[in-house]
Amino acid sequence: MIRVETSGYFITGSDTDVGKTYIACQIVQQLAAAGLEVETRKPAESGCRPGPGGEMLTNDAAALQRANGDREPIERISPYRFRAALAPHRAARLEGHRLLIENLIDACSRDHADRCLIVEGAGGFYSPLAENGLNADLAGTLQLPVIIVVHDRIGAVNQALMTTQAVTSRHLRVAAIILNQVTPITDPDMDNAADLQAHCDLPVFRCEHGALLPPLFEAADG
């Protein structure tokens, strides 16, 4: 298990479609159950759908909102929402907007300085997020410990180790690696957790397909 960082965490993926939101929501719930007040941010989300009033309805931000007990409005969780299922900066261009990393940094500000901030990126750690920045640039500015979510499949060890190296190269601390079974494992002889643990000294957790994440946290700091 890992000790709670009351400052919060940046949730990133080794790739797209690794189940970051599924994991991030469970992290929010675990932290709230531990007695922390949490703020959630998904500063940019693409692939949204238009609502009846012209607003962009979300999937990821709405899931974070529910996980945190509907304590925050969608507009605060994810102020930049776009229709095209592309990298956010490209989706923004199609709607006549120029999305800058400075916009996303501002969007991740806390409303209450003493609350635990959970920020979910978009795509992998080195995926473009704005016209002038990657997920890595946002994480580097926020200086939150990073939780890496990896699809638990063939190639997961390579993806996890490369993403870990990318995160640490930005002088950020990796708090944990979570192997998420987006699809059921069909080969019982595969054990990515054991293979990964042999090559790194970080906490490694496995989330089985469709199951709850095992408890991650020991106790809050202080």
- Residues with a catalytic annotation lie at 42
Residue spans of alpha helices (H) in the chain: 20-33, 60-67, 74-77, 88-94, 101-107, 135-142, 156-169, 192-197
Q: Report yes or no: 7 and 13 within 8 Å, Cβ to Cβ.
A: no
Q: How far apart are CA 27 and CA 214, in angstroms?
A: 10
Q: How far apart are CA 170 and CA 185, in angstroms?
A: 32
Residue entry with tokens 């019982």: 188
Q: What is the dihedral of CA 105, 160, 31, 70, to 10 degrees?
A: 60
